[in-house]
Amino acid sequence: MKIQSLSQYLLQDLTIKNHIIHNRIVLAPMAGLGHIALRQLISEFGGFGLLFTGMCSAKAVPHENPKTSLVFNWRKEELKYLVCQIFGSDPESMAKAAERIEKEGFFGVDLNFGCSVAAICKKGCGAALLKDPELSSKIVKAVRESVSIPLFVKFRTGWDDNPQFAVDMAKRFEDAGADALTFHPRVAPDRRSRPPQWEIIKHVRQAVDIPVFGNGNLFEKNDGIKMIHQTSCQGLSIGRMAVARPWLFAQWTKKFSPGDDIFFTSAMRMTQILLDHYDDHFAVKLFKKFSPYFCANFKFGHQILKNLVRAQTMDDIRSNLDSIFKNNPETLSRPNLNLFM
């Protein structure tokens, strides 16, 4: 599919179930990174269609207290564009969690069929479910029957290099009642070590009538254009790059042009928002998780990262940021992926 301009393409309306979104670029779910504070920072820049939470345990969700939970929490203002992702291994608990998510007022619920981390797969969750297509269908059906909000499924190629399997699963998810798919074209043992095979996104896209968000290694505007050309996917789902540059959505769709001080001001803003939501200890922990992505923007990012993560408190982090930026660190036009692969 040839497109004239990326922003024009991304700003076209897209119908998901009976809801229309006015922007087709979304934040991918990322545990430990896509928390309430990063989402707030991204929201302050704007320019996206939807944001996804990191995965939440379906078993825990029905009993979670958002006032004390570190992951199942949100700002009221973001619910209208926020999709809550859950992981689990049985239809009943996934359906119960989805009911809570609908009751809280989220835009939608997303089911994780893609996580290949051992601790998750060992419990039969995430990508492990792709080994049992029947059970996968049952889970999607059960959630479909329990809620009427948009139902998303995020999945990957599977466990073998077999594009047909991904196509079959996509149809299965659609038949079971999914309203949209996010597809990450990598096999499970790969994690992020090999490049994603975007051509499989095209096959998945052609196999279903529901919207498909393409995901995997979208770093620059040009990557977005290429993915749309190559796959005709209806939307883009951005993970790590949105952590490195939370203003990316605004840049790609709102003509936002970041000034030289964007790195300093957004890192400082991140420290403040983290403290608004968490105690100092946890805020520092989350800032350290964010740091490799942030530091990937600089020529000597490894060195900057070393200085930054020495901090024990948020005050330390702020004074480290002050002294790092006094030296005007050289930025890179494309982040150094080695820092966050």
Q: Smallest distance from the beta carbon of 18 to ligand FMN, in angstroms?
A: 24
Among 16, 25, 31, 83, binds ligand FMN (CB under 6 A): 31
Which residues are CB-contacts of 260 (< 8 A; sequence separation ≥ 6)? none
Cβ proximity to ligand FMN: between 112 and 146 the closer is 112
Torsion, Cα of 170, 29, 50, 251 (10° steps): -110
Is residue 108 within a helix (H) or strand (E), and if so which, with residue range? Answer: strand 108-113
Which residues are CB-contacts of 5 (< 8 A; sequence separation ≥ 6)? none
Q: Is 25 in the site for ligand FMN (CB under 6 A)?
A: no
Q: Is 216 in the site for ligand FMN (CB under 6 A)?
A: yes
Q: Is 172 in the site for ligand FMN (CB under 6 A)?
A: no
Q: What is the residue-wise DSSP string for 263-282?
A: HHHHHHHHHHHHHHHS-HHH
Among 6, 14, 16, 33, binds ligand FMN (CB under 6 A): 33
Alpha helices in 184-313 (DSSP H): 199-207, 221-231, 240-244, 248-253, 262-277, 280-295, 301-308
Q: Is 240 in the site for ligand FMN (CB under 6 A)?
A: yes
Is residue 240 within a helix (H) or strand (E), and if so which, with residue range? Answer: helix 240-244
Residue type, 341: M
Q: Report helix, strand or coil for 151.
A: strand
Among 6, 21, 28, 95, binds ligand FMN (CB under 6 A): 28
Q: Smallest distance from the beta carbon of 327 to ligand FMN, in angstroms?
A: 29
Among the listed ranges 10-18, 43-51, 72-80, 239-247, the one in contact with ligand FMN (CB under 6 A) is 239-247
Q: Is 215 in the site for ligand FMN (CB under 6 A)?
A: yes
Cβ proximity to ligand FMN: between 115 and 273 the closer is 115
State in Å, rounded, how far the first CA of the chain is from the last one: 29
Among the listed ranges 11-19, 35-43, 90-98, 109-117, the one in contact with ligand FMN (CB under 6 A) is 109-117
CA distances from residue 118 to 32, 92, 124, 195 in whole angstroms, order as listed: 16, 23, 10, 20
Say how many CA atoms lie within 13 Å of 177 toward its Cβ: 20
Mark 110-139 with x for binding to ligand FMN (rule: CB under 6 A) and - for no binding: --x-xx------------------------
Among the listed ranges 36-44, 163-171, 209-217, 296-304, the one in contact with ligand FMN (CB under 6 A) is 209-217
Q: What is the rounded CA–CA span in Å between residue 238 and residue 18?
A: 24
Owner of token pair 């004239």: 4
Q: Is 30 in the site for ligand FMN (CB under 6 A)?
A: yes
The closest alpha carbon to 184, from 171, 202, 198, 165, belongs to: 198
Q: What is the rounded CA–CA span in Å between residue 322 and residue 289?
A: 19
Please identify every residue annotated as catalytic. 115
Residues 72-101 that bind ligand FMN (CB under 6 A): 85
Q: Is 234 in the site for ligand FMN (CB under 6 A)?
A: no
Residue nearest to ligand FMN (CB): 239
Which residues are CB-contacts of 266 (< 8 A; sequence separation ≥ 6)? 41, 246, 247
Q: Is 177 in the site for ligand FMN (CB under 6 A)?
A: no
Cβ proximity to ligand FMN: between 180 and 324 the closer is 180
Total binding residues toward ligand FMN, as defined by CB under 6 A: 22
Which residues are CB-contacts of 171 (< 8 A; sequence separation ≥ 6)? 207, 208
Q: Is 236 in the site for ligand FMN (CB under 6 A)?
A: no
Q: Smallest distance from the beta carbon of 341 to ligand FMN, in angstroms?
A: 9
The DSSP code for 29 is P
Q: What is the rounded CA–CA span in Å between residue 152 and residue 263?
A: 33
Q: Smallest distance from the beta carbon of 150 to ligand FMN, in angstroms?
A: 16
Among the listed ranges 24-32, 57-65, 73-81, 135-143, the one in contact with ligand FMN (CB under 6 A) is 24-32
Cβ proximity to ligand FMN: between 99 and 190 the closer is 190
Residues at the site binding ligand FMN, with contacts judged by CB under 6 A: 28-33, 54-55, 85, 112, 114-115, 154, 184, 215-218, 238-241
